[in-house]
Amino acid sequence: MTAAPKSMDAIMALCKRRGFVFQASDIYGGINGFWDYGPLGAQLKKNLREAWWQDMIMNPCWGRKGPNGQRVQCVPLETCIIQHPKVWEASGHVGGFNDPMVDCKETKGRYRYDHVMVYVPAGGAAAAGDKPIFAYVGDQPSETKQKKKAEKTFGEVASVALSTIPQPWTRVIGPDAEKPGTLTEPRMFNLMFDTIPGAIRDEANKAYLRPETAQGVFLHFKNVVDSSRVRIPFGIGNTGRSFRNEVTPRNFTFRSREFEQAELEFFCHPDESKAWYEFWRDFRMDWWKSIGLAGENLILREHDKDELSHYSVGTSDVEYRFPFTAPGFGELEGIAHRGNYDLTQHQTHSKVKLEYYDTTRGELLPNGGRKGERYIPHCIEPAAGLDRGALALICEAYTRDDTRPSPEFLKLHPRVAPIKAAIFALMDKDGMPEVADKLADEVFAKFGRYGFIENDAKQSIGKRYARMDEAGCPFCFTIDSDTLKDQTVTVRDRDTGQQQRIGIDKVCGFLTEKLGL
């Protein structure tokens, strides 16, 4: 095996060539930050979404028992992209994460407006007269450097926020700049897309495209509890498109402005939340491994204390080493312990009680029941990016081996591979195509719903195998002259190129076993 380092350019070329990923609005020159999926990509992503749905909602964690010793219980939900604008105020997406930035024209540095401070004379900024005043960012090298300069200029200095200095800042020297007047006015970065529902365009009706699917779940926590007999602990899963107006869309589909999430909000009693957090963190890692990301390119990274959101007890990221992040890693999924932050926020903002009445807790009553306990559940949130997942699967699968007749191929796990199997007549004559057609009908009937089944008798067999390798089809079944005599076919394994003979009536059984369906 002569494995060459993986080139992102080569992977992107293959994605286009074989119809995995196209640039959105390609024929109009594309649109920054948006990508579409071609036939194979659409099916690959659907397989990934389907695997998530199966393993998270329908048969959660493959039947693995939770920390409470019980089967894990989850239900699905499907919520709208557009919700009431107040949802995003409650969640903190409006206001909190919408930070104005200032740029420095000299150094090309970019700073959060609210982080920039200025050293002025002890008597206040006005006392500086025509002299420059010195901006800095706390805990950065600029802090001591600028302080020294300021003290040299003014003697005793005071520190004030940049926002207190009237614009334009012609006398302000940027934190890392030499000359004054290089800072731009603060600019807002619009991180949420907005839109205006209703026939009449009125800013007062502004609504947002959701930046995450999670909030839809919190909004319906009570509805789900009241309508579906779920009891704590349980999870609610929600998949769908989300939108973030990324400052810099980059790295192929990795940071897109429109993307798809698969999020689970798992609600539990505060006392059990740590155990559930660890449970989900470990399962999610195992899950990604199970669909083909096993190996050193996948890591679980526990966030440091100072990285955590103020409400979070713990957060881990499942990270994959993409060719464009190597030797670093890029986030595939975040597993966050969110405490009761979200439900509390929505309870406050909506003024609707989102407490849960837990009849399994509280003191024992004489009649053998429990008194019950009211609380706002804690939430564990495994939030996966499906587009990032699909990209990681492709990157991991992409293999180059120049010793093979098909040097480029995709070692996709059979469960996610968009083409599940190919049926080939070795030659387009002697009755072989007819046998192949019959077998293909049978395989279609049984597996066609899970992915594409190819049936092709044209061109040389090597060419057809190579084509399947490049598309990541795991198995090719070939009908030859022996098939006509003894009812056997060859099965070719994509990764090894090796063949074995099995009975033609064993093909479906073989696929059932290998595809993990």
In the complex, minimum distance from the CB of residue 408 to RNA, in angstroms, rounded to a whole number = 7
Dmax over CA atoms of the chain, in Å, equals: 101
Choice from 42, 82, 308, 466 touching RNA (CB under 7 A): 466
In the complex, minimum distance from the CB of residue 335 to RNA, in angstroms, rounded to a whole number = 12
Question: What's the CA gap between 45 and 392, in Å, rounded?
Answer: 11
Q: Which is nearer to RNA, 173 or 479 (CB)?
A: 479
Query: Which positions from 295 through 334 interact with RNA, judged by CB under 7 A?
Result: 309, 324
In the complex, minimum distance from the CB of residue 496 to RNA, in angstroms, rounded to a whole number = 8
| 93 forms part of the interface with RNA (CB under 7 A) | yes
Query: Which positions from 22 through 81 interact with RNA, judged by CB under 7 A?
Result: 23, 27, 29-33
In the complex, minimum distance from the CB of residue 321 to RNA, in angstroms, rounded to a whole number = 13
Question: What's the CA gap between 3 and 187, in Å, rounded?
Answer: 47
Query: Which positions from 145 through 184 interact with RNA, judged by CB under 7 A?
Result: none
| 194 forms part of the interface with RNA (CB under 7 A) | no
Query: Which positions from 219 through 258 interact with RNA, judged by CB under 7 A?
Result: 244-252, 255
Question: What's the CA gap between 191 and 180, in Å, rounded?
Answer: 30
| 508 forms part of the interface with RNA (CB under 7 A) | no
| 144 forms part of the interface with RNA (CB under 7 A) | no
Give the residues across from 370 on adjacent strands. Answer: 364
Question: What's the CA gap between 342 and 267, in Å, rounded?
Answer: 11
| 38 token code pair | 């071609």
| 99 forms part of the interface with RNA (CB under 7 A) | yes
Q: Which is nearer to RNA, 48 or 476 (CB)?
A: 476
Dihedral angle over CA of 435, 437, 441, 446, nearest 10: 70
Choice from 2, 3, 70, 108 touching RNA (CB under 7 A): 108
Query: Which positions from 403 through 462 interact with RNA, judged by CB under 7 A?
Result: 404-408, 426-430, 458-462
Which of 12, 24, 84, 15 is closest to 44 using CA atoms?
A: 15
Q: Which long-range contacts (CB under 8 A, 24 or more apart) does 243-249 make?
A: 243/81, 243/192, 243/193, 243/209, 243/210, 243/211, 244/191, 244/192, 244/211, 245/189, 245/190, 245/191, 245/192, 245/193, 246/33, 246/191, 247/189, 249/32, 249/33
Query: Which positions from 344 through 403 interact with RNA, judged by CB under 7 A?
Result: none
Q: Which is nearer to RNA, 286 or 428 (CB)?
A: 428
Q: Which is nearer to RNA, 73 or 98 (CB)?
A: 98
